Structure 1
C-alpha cells in the first residue's frame, strides 16, 4: 500500500444488462479489480455464453466475486483496503488452492496494488472498462477510460421502480 490517498474502483450499473450477461453479477457499489487471474488457464473452448462475456469485459467484484461491465474510480480508506486484502487472500485459498493465507496475502496485495496504481492516474468518478483477448502469449487486457462529466453519475443512470 502507498502513502497518501488511495483510490480503487467500485461497480456501477447504468441499467440491468449485467444481470443478464454474467453468471454472477457484481453488486452495485462493491470494490472491484480486473480479476484477469481467473482466466489464466483458459482456452478458446472456455469462451462460450456468459463465461465469454465475463472474460471479454468483466471486472471482478471483491465482495460477491461477481462481474460488472463498468467501474468508477473512488477513494478508499486504508482500513477498507486492508479488509479487501484479507478477503481476496481468503478467496485465493478457498477457490484457487493457495497453500496458505500468508502466501495468498502476498499475491492479493500485489493484485490490489496494481489496481490502485491504475486508479491513481484518474480523477474520481472516471469510468473504466476492461477488454480481454486470448493471444498466443496468454490473456491480454486493455483498458478504456471515460472522463467524469460535469453532471453527476446519478443523472446518467437509469432508475427503474418495480411499478415501471
Structure 2
C-alpha cells in the first residue's frame, strides 16, 4: 500500500457520460470496483454495463464509473472519508450485515486502490477488466505524457483553429458530389 496516495477519477472530456450509464464525478476518490460485478452474469452484460465492467473505475462517493484515474496525494482524513463514503454504500446498497463489516470491506477496497499508486503523483492509470475461468481479472496500464518537444499534433484526427476573421461561408453540395461521382463511375 502506498501511504499518502490514492487514485482520483479523471475526466479529460465528456466521453464517460456517454460510455457509462452513470459517470463518476471528476476528482472523486476511486476504487477498481470489481466487487460490483461479483454476483453478475458477466456473459449477459451488454452496452453501457459491459463498458463499465471492461474499463470502469468506481468513484466512492457516487458509485459512478470513470475510464481513467490519476494518482493523487491523499491525507489521512481524505482516506478515512473515502472509506466512510464507500462503507455507507456497501452497508446501505449492498447489504453488509453491519457498519463494522461494511467499513472492513471498504478499507480493503481502498487498500487495493492505494496499491495501484506506486507511481509518481499525476500518473494516469487505465484498467481492463475481464472474466477468466470464472474469475474477474484486472490489468492496469499507465498512460505517459509525450516527451518534451514531441509533435503536439501527433495522433490527433482533428485540429481546430479559432480565428477572429469572418471568412467566406463554405457549403458542401453533397447531392452534387454524389451525382458527379455517379457520372464518373458510369463513364469508367
Please identify which structure carries the higher strand content: 1
Gaps in structure 2 of 5+ consecutive residues: 153-188
Q: Which has the larger radius of gyration?
A: 2
Higher relative contact order (CA 8 A, sep 6+): 1
1:42 positional shift: 2.0
- Residue in 1 aligned with 2:140? 143
- 3-state SS of 1:96 partner: coil
TM-score for the superposition, normalised by structure 1: 0.84
Deviations 1:14-56 (A, max 9, x none): 2111110101000111111101110112224431010000001
1:137 positional shift: 3.1
- Residue in 2 aligned with 1:134? 131
Give the aligned CA root-mean-square deviation in angstroms. Answer: 1.9
How many residues align? The count is: 149
TM-score for the superposition, normalised by structure 2: 0.74
Of the candidates 91, 94, 97, which is equivalent to residue 95 of structure 2?
97
Of the candidates 42, 60, 63, which is equivalent to residue 62 of structure 1?
60
- Asked if 2 retains the 8 angstrom alpha-carbon contact of 1:127 and 1:148, the reply is no
Gaps in structure 1 of 5+ consecutive residues: 156-164
